[in-house]
Amino acid sequence: MSKVIGILAGSLRKESFSKKVGKTLLDFAPEGFKFKLIDLSEIPLYNQDFDDHNEVPDAVTKFRTEMANVDGVIFVTPEYNRSVPAVLKNAIDVGSRPYGKSVWDKKPAAIFSNSPGNLSAFGANHHLRQSLVFLNMPTMQQPEVYIAHVNDLFDEEGNMKEGGTKDFIKKAVESYIVWFNKNAE
């Protein structure tokens, strides 16, 4: 049975670079693994009343079930105002509730941050790491994956161009699989 790795892209934009990176990762799933891009677009903003009053929206239930059935997670995030985009933070919050029933617990994670600029979403990468520590997700430390100038990496069809960055991302996925195998329960 294949291990399933959920890929969460922290952007809703149709031409999102994070989604394009996520789609590129699908091709790098090794034998025995299935990579799955998880849609975050239908998840409403988390409200504890959903759980307190047993009025959980279908989209929340669907997301929680989907995440409960993955074995690990690769987060692909841009940076908004030196932090994680709201859609990604919301998904993390939705999956962490109700208290004591987090879908994230002990799932090996990796963070691939990206930006059209030079800083490669460094701030978002490190803010996300703080949340993952609290969620008890062992997170790959090396290699750190910061993808600069992401806007130059794709052809007109949205496919990642061959070259050093694509090779680095492939090696980072290989490192994540090693990390996953050491940390999966």
pLDDT band at 126 (very low <50, low <70, confident <90, very high): very high
Nearest 5°: phi and psi at 103?
-80, -5
Q: How many domains does the chain have?
A: 1
pLDDT band at 81 (very low <50, low <70, confident <90, very high): confident
Domain that includes residue 30, residue range: 3-183
CA distances from 114 to 1, 44, 53, 61 (A): 32, 25, 38, 29
Q: What is the pTM of this model?
A: 0.96
Mind listing the pLDDT tens digit for each residue in 46-72? Answer: 999 999 999 999 999 999 999 999 999
**76 has which bridge partners?**
9, 112
CATH classification of the domain holding 46: 3.40.50.360
CA distances from 143 to 82, 89, 116, 147, 178 (A): 21, 23, 20, 12, 12
3-class SS letters over 98-161:
CCCCCCCCCCCEEEEEECCCCCCCHHHHHHHHHHHHHCCCCECCCCCEEECCHHHCECCCCCEC
| Three-class DSSP category at 96 | coil
